[in-house]
Chains A and B, each alone.
Chain A
Amino acid sequence: MLDKELRSMIGDVKDGRMDRRAFIKRMAAVGLTAPLANQILALGGVAMAEGASTYKPTKRGGGGALKLLWWQGPTLLNPHFATGTKDQDGARLFYEPLACWDPDGNMKLVLAAEIPSIQNGGLAADGKSVTWKLKPGVKWHDGTPFTADDVVFNWEYAKDPATSALTIATLRDITVEKVDELTVRILFNKPTPFWADAFVGAPNTIIPKHLFKDYMGSKSREAPTNLSPVGTGPYKFVEFKPGDLVRGVINPDYHMANRPYFDTIEMKGGGDAVSAARAVIQTGEYDFGWNIQVEDDVLLRLEKGGKGKTVYAVGGDTEFIALNFTDPNTEVDGERSSMKTKHPLFSDPAVRKALSLLIDRESVKKAIYGRAGRTTANFLNGPEKFVSKNTSWEFSVEKASKVLDEAGWKPGTDGIREKDGKKLKLVYQTSINGPRQKTQAIVKQACQKAGIDVELKSVVASVFFSSDVGNPDTYSKFYADMEMFQIPLSQPDPSQHMRRYLSNLVATKENKWQGTNFPRWVNKEYDETIQAADGEMDPVKRAALYIKANDLMYQDTVFIPVQHRLKVEAAANNLRPVVSGWANETDNLFDWYREE
């Protein structure tokens, strides 16, 4: 039914009976992301709209200096080696992708000349290839023309394991071929509904062939241009000091009209988030501060009569509590949390249900995240509107107690509930991070009222998130009953995010805990749903499948979502930054300007 309705709606858009915005709104109502809705239109035969620009200046340059403050500065400037977003942010000042994402999740053209669609022949109807037309007349900063060879080269460069590029993940399963000087075709080995991954967004910017071709494979680390990028971007490279400073100057031959606005750009690294907020909002020494993860009341205080303000961008990042489905306290063949065990307490669904009733999301929002958080019942929060409408959450100690009472968990003499000699005692771990420890305290308090004893554990982030096989405290080993963190949704599509929890991807000793399914949750229906979604070319059916996957997780209480987190940045009052929750902060830098 949904399918039929969609077809007729696409027809309406095509004939102009329905405008694009109304269509996207309708799509959001069934839980589709704006980027996905746009892609549906593309597949349905209506070209994807390019995001509208808010850029006002009518001439290039003249904007003076733009001073950015990244409290973790970039440590390298080759996008293929970027280990974190900070490196991608730095490289993005000089290098560019074919297209990027605007704040609404619409595609914006950068090095591409048009958005691939079925009419312009860019998209194959079977979803197995996409053809990009490149903008003519684009030049690298050294004057060499940018061509299809450069794009193909990036694929060859990164897919060679000896290069040890991190972008190998995106590029190894595709084939990139040159059609002509200004056209490249990307071939997928299976129908790929989300085709805008390779060469799109700040993580996938393009480096010049003529400067890197002698440094492929194991010689990659010797390339002098690793540290002094020559790109196509709005700013030309001047100076780089790892972790401290990146400096650039306006590119007078930039390929976008009237852009960029600023004459010079400076990205300063180091320090901490609070003092970065101070330097932007209170003293105005800097124009923009990145990733201001600071308690809201501190920010509100700084904003009073300050020189700047906070800026928020909505993405799909969910802070969650994951429940362990295996027993972390029993060792089987030298492995705790082994698949051969069942969690003694969580194997009773009532306990999981009760826990989800004990997470006071509203208080967490009020006391900790403030304007930077939203309460949610869903694990998958997509863009702003990607919410399964079938779920709800509430906080009620009484209801939780009732659920436990009914399941036979009765309070013992010490006030802690027990059943069959098993006490409701849980270990709750997370990484060391102010807001997380405060959330832990709120949860612990509520649990105590309901007769559950919670022991809190905090692990240094560099250990918690490490892939070190020898360490017992990593999130993937999950030697605790519950753990809290977030996995960023780094592209406007849920496929990679949701595939992590397939039953065959459980983290075990055998796969050196590299399996991505850390809650060790096994659900056949979920597996089938995700596999169906992976091969589903019909966008509406595919979206419905992901909503179903989210709901399956909700029914089983695999994750208890704590907060849907927004990106927080600080900006000078007169700066007009364009920040998208779907992209790196510097991805839309060409559209930034200052209001006079």
Chain B
Amino acid sequence: MSQYVLRRLLIAVPSLLGISLVLFVVLALAPGDPFSELATNPNVPPEVALALRAKFGLDDPIYLRYLHWLNAMLHGDWGFSFVSRMNVDTLILQRLPATLYVIGSAQILALLIAIPVGVYAATKPYSLFDQIANTLAFVGFSLPTFFTGILFILIFSVTLDWLPFVYTTDIKGTGIRWVLEMIRQAIMPVAVLGLFQAASMTRFVRSAMLDVIRLDYVTTARAKGLGQAKVIVKHVMRNAMIPVVTLIALQMPAVFGGAIVTEQIFRIPGIGSLLISSILSNDTPVVMAVTFVFACLVVLFNLIADVLYGWLDPRISLR
């Protein structure tokens, strides 16, 4: 087991190197300039902008820039933002709590809806409940978050005036009031993201359950006289969860990576909005750091998912 993990970690090194190389080259070849805003400011002579480019090493050849970046990364230096003139790790750590809170809550909400609904729908396929759940799931994942987000804002903020639509990180008040405000302002983004995720996950759970529920061993378990609840939870769910775990594990990096669209709509200062504003302003060190960390997390959670298989199904042996 530990040997397996070690081997997987070693394999991850070259793949991460490859990912970083591809990311870096794509970003370096992408058009644009972090100092483009200076170009239309008549007060700034072009040679000043040019000197800045040289100072930040933007005129060096790509391979040199990549080696510099790699060397710094190995020393724990994530780079220096062109736009904010501060260290990228500080910038990212500042944004992490909001993303973890909002996207994490949305994932939990999605699981809390998807698993019970999916399981129950699978136990009674084509019943009224199943039909309704299916229809709603279809509607849910056909509606993009930028649409539902704006719809929610129009209904709950503009018309009803119940919820704020600008997320603030410095809520006034302490103790219980602070907690309530934090929950209040997160309701809309969490609902938008959570319902969207729940919709596709429900379909997934349902079909995974249906695959297992018809197997002979389930019939055997029922024939032994076990109750419906015990059969579903102990026998069916455990086996049906294997693909679901994969899906969840692959979603976990998103909890750290943020949700670009939702964060932009509700002005949540998370990683997603940092990423998009950095891309728009061509702040490559930040884009590089965020995407690379994201890549590391994907590799890591894949490994975790594989290890979990062994626990869920002892027949899968990890060598």
Contacts and interface: CB of A to CB of B under 8 A. Distances in A.
Interface string A497-511: 100100000000000
Contacts of B36: 461-467
Contacts of B166: 69, 268, 271, 279, 285-286
Interface in B17-73: 31-53, 55
Interface in B250-282: 264-265, 267, 269, 273-274, 277, 280-282
Given A169-B48, A487-B40, A244 B169 contact: yes
Contacts of A69: 166
Contact of B31 (A283, A285, A471): A471
Secondary structure of the A contact surface, majority rule: loop
A490 B43 contact: yes
A278 B158 CA distance: 9
Contact of B84 (A75, A168, A268): A75
Given A76-B83, A78-B85, A476 B169 contact: no
Nearest to A238: B170
A268 B266 CA distance: 12
A476 B84 contact: no
A242 B94 contact: yes
Interface in B267-309: 267, 269, 273-274, 277, 280-282
A489 interface: yes
A497 B52 contact: no
A168 B85 CA distance: 17
B165 interface: yes
A226 B85 contact: yes
Interface string A217-245: 00001000011000000000001011111
Given A83-B37, A221-B80, A473-B31, A239 B47 contact: no
Contacts of A464: 36
A84 B52 CA distance: 14
B164 interface: yes
A275 B265 contact: yes
A84 B38 CA distance: 7
Interface in B145-202: 153, 157-158, 161, 164-166, 168-170
Nearest to B38: A83
B34 to A, nearest CB: 8
Interface string A100-136: 0000000000000000000000000000000000000
Interface string A259-283: 0000000101111100100110011
Contacts of A470: 31
| Of B32, B169, B273, B282, most A-chain CB atoms within 10 Å | B32
A36 to B, nearest CB: 17
Interface band, chain B: 35 or more
Contact of B43 (A78, A161, A460, A491): A491
Given A243-B269, A270-B267, A285-B166, A462 B33 contact: yes
A81 B55 CA distance: 13
Contacts of B44: 166, 169
B312 interface: no
Interface band, chain A: 35 or more
B32 A283 contact: no
Contacts of A448: none
Contacts of A467: 33, 35-36, 38-39, 46, 49-50, 53
B86 interface: yes
B197 to A, nearest CB: 23
A471 B282 CA distance: 14
B252 to A, nearest CB: 24
B242 interface: no
B273 A169 contact: no
Nearest to A168: B48
Contacts of B157: 283, 285
B100 interface: no
Contacts of B43: 169-170, 203, 490-491, 496
A516 B43 CA distance: 12
B282 A243 contact: no
A84 B49 CA distance: 13
Nearest to A472: B31
Contact of A270 (B48, B50, B264, B281): B264
| Of B80, B95, B153, B166, most A-chain CB atoms within 10 Å | B166
B39 A465 contact: yes
Nearest to B32: A462
Nearest to A306: B158
16 contacts: A75-B81, A75-B83, A76-B85, A226-B86, A243-B269, A244-B169, A245-B169, A271-B166, A271-B267, A279-B165, A286-B166, A466-B36, A466-B39, A489-B42, A490-B42, A516-B42
Interface of B: 31-53, 55, 80-81, 83-86, 91, 94-95, 153, 157-158, 161, 164-166, 168-170, 264-265, 267, 269, 273-274, 277, 280-282
Pairs of residues from A and B, 3 with the lowest C-beta to C-beta distance, nearest first: A466-B33, A244-B269, A514-B46
